[in-house]
């Protein structure tokens, strides 16, 4: 016993003070993912890329919101969500301490209003995502009429199909037809 005490006194303290002081980690360390709701457009790219099914994006027609959620209990810190996010809304931090008292505290959640179709009035996409697409397309310089682009983007696929079939003034097929060779 004395032998062990002597050895312990000679060695001194070798353990860290975690959780009082978080351990130092490498700058490339992949820790807890953090989502910035202000940056997120609820496009669901992160959910599709997540190999651990830690991310979910669901449409709630009752509340009219697209609900985004990350469950840290499933996360494997692979960083795929950060790689695919088009707006840099989710990043892996250097945070290693994730102990919580309640399971609910392992969730990060946010919600985004749905846009309704300008023709039929039904919700069909996330308003922020449509706005993001509109701004991106305008920035390409290929569109001059923002109002027309907005109208086009804010029409649901069903109405687009219906109007292409029933309203001939909406499409110009003549550019696809060749003059008859006489
Ligand atoms: S990929 Fe980025 S913008 Fe898209 S839902 Fe995930 S966090 Fe939001
Ligand atoms: S780090 Fe990997 S496992 Fe964790 S939420 Fe992102 S994609 Fe999913």
The rounded radius of gyration (Å) of the Cα atoms in the chain is: 26
- Contact 40 CB / ligand 1 (< 6 Å): yes
pTM exceeds cut of 0.85: no
Determine the Cα angle at 135 with ends 131 and 139, to 5°: 170
**What local confidence, expressed as pLDDT, does residue 104 receive?**
95
Nearest protein Cα to ligand 1, atom 2: 85
Confidence at residue 180, expressed as pLDDT on a 0 to 100 scale:
55
**What confidence score (pLDDT) does residue 166 get?**
46
Q: What is the pLDDT of residues 59-98, one digit of tens each?
A: 999 999 999 999 999 999 999 999 999 999 999 999 998 8
In the chain, % of residues over pLDDT 90: 73
From 71, 78, 107, the mutation candidate for ligand 2 (largest count of ligand atoms within 8 A of CB) is 78
Q: In Å, what is the CA distance from 87 to each residue of 83, 84, 111?
A: 10, 9, 16
Q: What is the mean pLDDT of each run of 10 residues along the chain (182 residues)?
A: 89 83 88 97 97 97 96 97 97 92 96 96 96 95 93 92 61 53 52
pLDDT value of residue 118: 94
Which residues, judged by CB distance below 6 Å to any ligand atom, belong to the binding site of ligand 2?
A: 33, 49-50, 52, 54-55, 70, 75-81
SS3 29: coil
Residue 171 pLDDT: 52
Distance 137 CA to ligand 1 centre (A): 19
Torsion of CA 13, 18, 19, 25, to 10 degrees: 160
Tell me how far apart the alpha carbons of residues 2 and 88 are, in angstroms, rounded to a whole number. Answer: 58
Report pLDDT for 128. Answer: 97
Distance 31 CA to ligand 1 centre (A): 18
The whole-angstrom separation of Cα 156 and Cα 162 is 10
- Mutational pocket test of ligand 2: of 55, 91, 93, 98, the residue with most ligand atoms within 8 Å of the beta carbon: 55
- What confidence score (pLDDT) does residue 167 get? 45
Point out which residues pair with 57 in neighbouring strands: 68
Give the closest residue (by CA) to ligand 2 atom 8: 50
């Amino acid at each position: 016993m004395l032998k062990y005490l002597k050895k312990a006194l000679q060695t001194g303290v070798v353990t860290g003070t975690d959780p009082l002081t978080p351990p130092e980690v490498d700058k490339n360390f992949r820790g807890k993912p953090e989502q910035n709701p202000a940056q997120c457009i609820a496009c669901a790219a992160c959910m599709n890329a997540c190999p651990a099914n830690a991310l979910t994006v669901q449409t709630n027609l009752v509340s009219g919101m697209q609900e985004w959620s990350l469950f840290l209990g499933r996360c494997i810190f692979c960083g795929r969500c950060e790689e695919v996010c088009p707006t840099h809304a989710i990043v892996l931090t250097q945070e290693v301490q994730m102990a919580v008292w309640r399971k609910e505290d392992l969730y990060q959640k946010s919600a985004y209003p749905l846009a309704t179709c300008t023709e039929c009035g039904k919700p069909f996409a996330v308003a922020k995502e449509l706005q993001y697409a509109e701004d991106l397309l305008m920035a390409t310089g290929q569109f001059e009429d923002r109002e027309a682009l907005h109208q086009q983007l804010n029409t649901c696929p069903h109405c687009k199909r219906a109007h292409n079939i029933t309203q001939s003034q909406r499409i110009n097929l003549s550019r696809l037809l060749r003059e008859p060779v006489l």
